[in-house]
Structure 1
Amino acid sequence: MTRRIVVGVDGSLAATAALRWAVRQAAATGADVVEAVNAWELSGSVLPPPVGVYDPRQVAANVLHEAVVGELGETPEIKVTELVLPGPASAALLGQASGAELLVVGSRGLGGFSGLLLGSVSRHVVEHAPCPVVVVRAEHADGTAG
């Protein structure tokens, strides 16, 4: 059976810190793969966008890939699979976390109010995850948590 760690990556500072933490944890525990997940939703439509029009799936894929390569390089020491899933972020993460050893999320993503201790996605997955959850805070430029 594959030992997986799932991590939410939305391009935020906290998600980038979560990705780094998940990879270090995988190396320390011998997990086989880190599954980096970003989710996307179509606003008000169930049809795919026409060619040449804003494509939220492609935007999510680009954000995810840039975060993974930017933090880990082209050939990370641990196998990292990039998954772009449809739907709300919390639902995508919870679904992917089924059977995982661990779910890792940033304390706050790109949306919401910056003064909140936990964002809506991190709070929801903590309350409903089928596996243990680690919430990672963003780091400031000086390396301290923020």
Structure 2
Amino acid sequence: MSPVTRQILVATDGSVSSTAAVEWAAMRALAVGAELRILCVLEAYAPGLQVPPDYLERDREEGERILKKAAQAASAVAPEISVSVDRRTGPVAETILAEIGEASEVVLGSRGRGGFTSLVIGSVSLKVAGHTDKPVVVVRQTIDRPHGTIVVGYDWSEAAQRALTYAFEVAARTGAKLRVINAGNSTIYDGSIYTRVTRADLIAGEEAALRAEVERWRQENPDVTTDIEIIDGHPAWVLAEASKTADLVVVGSRGVGTMRAALLGSVSHGVLHHGHSPVAVIGSVRR
């Protein structure tokens, strides 16, 4: 039996950010030896609406044009990869989620052609990132020159462990340095039990615990240069600031299952909105 080829799914609507997403996905596919599947989803007309045939033909031609442009963009940055294209009609986010299948990860533009131009992150990106356990990478309209650094937020949760695994894999494939950041607001300790414990002691203890936690990933990826950092501040803002000099920020999301769990956590939501680099959201495994 031949081995199953890894597949990366990228959705495009022809917008600037989705074109950047296609290029990022193509480079990622090249790095991991994956096939690239490009999906264009056209919003369906309202049920019962009598749509003239020429409108449907126009939509078909538009979808084909978008896919052709996307395939050309992918081949321009990674001519060695295998590229396939598909067009679907339906609710955009729901259709993308239904098409994920065996794809190892999903790549999306931060905002499509629809919606309010003032919004940094579109509703499609937020919905897809919050409703799958596959890694979802959200790419902005432009990608800066490589910084050689991957940033991952870590808080000991299951999703954070999966995020760390993904971040190490990306760093190992690209030769980038990895910054593992644990961020949080300082706790003010009252009472005599803490009078001889300094803030520096607390940070040193947290850093030692984090370093020990990360060690098993480092042993599996000995060639990845890893920095461990404990930073005071809200995690979303700390990671957003770190994204200014990062090629990718990796964060864990809440798990999926219940409606509450399907929503993005405040940190991943904040980094998606305020980050400057592509952001990978890693969900918990489905139960």
Comparing both structures, which one devotes a greater share of its residues to helix?
A: 2
AA in 2 matched with 1:127? G
CA distance in 1, matches of 2:52, 2:82: 32
Q: CA deviation at 1:5?
A: 0.2
| Aligned residue number for residue 54 of structure 1 | 55
Residues 130, 57 of structure 1: alpha-carbon distance in 2 compared, 3 angstrom cutoff: farther
With the length of structure 2 as denominator, give the TM-score of the two structures. 0.45
Return the index of the structure with the highest Cα Rg. 2
Please report how far the alpha carbon of residue 45 of structure 1 lies from its aligned counterpart in structure 2 after TM superposition.
Answer: 4.8
Counting matched residue pairs gives: 141
| TM-score after normalising by structure 1 | 0.83
RMSD of aligned C-alpha atoms? Answer: 2.5
Picking from 90, 105, 123, the partner of 1:87 is 90
Q: Which has the higher contact order (CA 8 A, sep 6+)?
A: 1
- Unmatched 5+ stretches in structure 1: none
Which among 97, 100, 104 is matched to residue 97 of structure 1?
A: 100
Q: For 2:138 and 2:62, locate their aligned partners in 1 and report how far apart those are by CA, in whole Å.
A: 24
Which position in structure 1 is the counterpart of 2:37?
A: 35
| Deviation per residue, 1:77-124 (Å, 9 max, x gap) | 211111101212212211121221100000000011122121011011
Distance 1:134 1:61, change over 3 A: same
Amino acid at match of 2:30: A
After superposition, where does 1:1-146 map in structure 2 within 5 Å?
1-31=4-34, 33-45=35-47, 49-50=52-53, 53-55=54-56, 56-70=59-73, 72-73=75-76, 76-139=79-142
The residue type paired with residue 38 of structure 1 is C
Unaligned runs of 5+ in 2: 146-275, 278-287
